[in-house]
Amino acid sequence: MINLKNIRKKIEGNIEENKSSKNYNTWKVGGNAEYFYEPKNVKELKIFLKLAKDTEITFLGNGSNVLIRDKGIKGCVICLKNTFNNYEVNKNNEFSFEAGLSCMKIAQITSKRNYTGLEFLCGIPGSLGGALAMNAGCYGGNIWEKVIKVNLINKDGKIIEKDKKDFSIGYRNVNLNENNFFISASFLLQENPLNNSLDTIKNYLKDRRSKQPTGLPSCGSVFKNPDNAHAANLIDSLGLKGYKIGGAYISKKHANFIISDNGTKSSDIESLIIFVQKKVYEEKKIFLETEVKFIGSKL
C-alpha cells in the first residue's frame, strides 16, 4: 500500500491513483493501474522505490508490446517514456541513452550524427527500456547487438551496472531478473563512411508502411516466429485474415497483427490470441508462442 500523501512530500514526479491505462498502450485497451508514477529522474526514482517497497511494481515504456488486461494492474506502474529522455554522446563513438527515449528518436540522434548501427530502430514504436526487455529488432538487427553496458535499478532502489556479457540474449528475449529494471544503456557505434543512415531510415519506414497496418491500434507482431516458419504465413494459410472477436480482428494487411476497434476489450484480444493458437495447433501442429506480454490478472 502506497502512502500517497507522504510520497508526494518527497517527490515531484507525477503520481496518480486509479489511472486509466488506455492512453499508455498502443492497443488503447485495459483497466486502471492502482497507482501510476512518472519519475522525474533517477535520484527521485530511488527514493520512490524505497518508500513503496511492499508494492508490486510494473515498468512500462510506450506500451507497444503489452496487453493490459481489463481488470487493470495491481500495485504501481512506473512509466519512463515522458521523463527519462536524456542522452550523452561520449568520446570513442559511445552513446548513452536513458530508458524512456523512443526507438525512433535514438535512430534519428545517431543517424543525424552519421553513426550507423541503430537505423533499424526507426520503425519500432517502443522506448529503449521496452526494447532492451524484448530484445527488439527488425531488418536483420536487434538492439542488444550494439549494447556495451546497461544501468539497472532494482526494486529496493539500488543502481546496478551490468555489461552485455552478464545477459543471455535470445530472440525477443533477455534473461532479466524480475526485480531489475533498465534505466539507461550505452552503445558503441561506428561512423558511417557511406553517409546514408537517414536514407536507410526513410527506406525502412516506407517498407514498413507497405507491409504493416501502421497507424491502426496494434502491438505489432502478436506471435513469435516459430523455427523455420513465419507466424503470419501460418495464420494467413488458415484464411484467418479479418477474423474478428468482439472489437478485435486480424489485420487483412498482415496476419500477425491484431487490430483493436473503438470499444475493444482486452478480453476480446486475448480470446482472439487463444483462438489463433488453437487453430494453428489443430491444423499445423505448431504452437505459436506470444511475443506480446500480458499484464494484470485475468477476469
Ligand X SMILES: Cc1cc2nc3c(=O)[nH]c(=O)nc-3n(C[C@H](O)[C@H](O)[C@H](O)COP(=O)(O)OP(=O)(O)OC[C@H]3O[C@@H](n4cnc5c(N)ncnc54)[C@H](O)[C@@H]3O)c2cc1C
Answer yes or no whether residue 99 interacts with ligand X by CB under 6 A: yes
Question: Which residue type, as a one-letter code, is found at position 257?
Answer: F
Catalytic residue among 34, 98, 119, 291: 291
Taking CB under 6 A as the criterion, which residues in 4-33 touch ligand X?
A: 26
Question: Has 291 been annotated as catalytic?
Answer: yes
- The grid coordinates listed for 242 are 479479418
Catalytic residue among 119, 172, 251, 270: 172
Number of residues engaging ligand X in binding (CB under 6 A): 31
Residues 175-195 as b/e (b if ≥16 CB within 10 A, e otherwise) read ebeeebbbbbbbbbbeebeee
Q: Please report how close the Cβ of residue 153 comes to ligand X at its closest, in angstroms.
A: 9
Cβ closer to ligand X: 51 or 174? Answer: 174
Which residue of 11, 101, 104, 219 would you call a contact of ligand X, by CB under 6 A?
219
Question: Has 172 been annotated as catalytic?
Answer: yes
Q: Please report how close the Cβ of residue 193 comes to ligand X at its closest, in angstroms.
A: 26
Q: Segment contacting ligand X (CB under 6 A): 2-10, 67-75, 119-127, 189-197?
A: 119-127
Q: Segment contacting ligand X (CB under 6 A): 118-126, 156-164, 244-252, 259-267?
A: 118-126
Whole-number Å distance between alpha carbons of 232 and 55: 39
Question: Has 266 been annotated as catalytic?
Answer: no
Residue 277, CA distances (Å) to 44, 95, 273 in order: 43, 40, 6
Cβ closer to ligand X: 60 or 189? Answer: 60
Which residue of 47, 138, 169, 174 would you call a contact of ligand X, by CB under 6 A?
138
Answer yes or no whether residue 181 interacts with ligand X by CB under 6 A: yes
The sign of the dihedral angle between the CA atoms of 52, 53, 54, 56 is positive
Which residue of 60, 231, 245, 288 would you call a contact of ligand X, by CB under 6 A?
60
Which residue of 67, 134, 147, 248 would you call a contact of ligand X, by CB under 6 A?
134
- The grid coordinates listed for 293 are 506480454
Which residue of 182, 187, 223, 249 would you call a contact of ligand X, by CB under 6 A?
182
Answer yes or no whether residue 131 interacts with ligand X by CB under 6 A: yes
Q: Please report how close the Cβ of residue 191 comes to ligand X at its closest, in angstroms.
A: 25
Answer yes or no whether residue 259 interacts with ligand X by CB under 6 A: no
Residues annotated as catalytic are 172, 221, 291
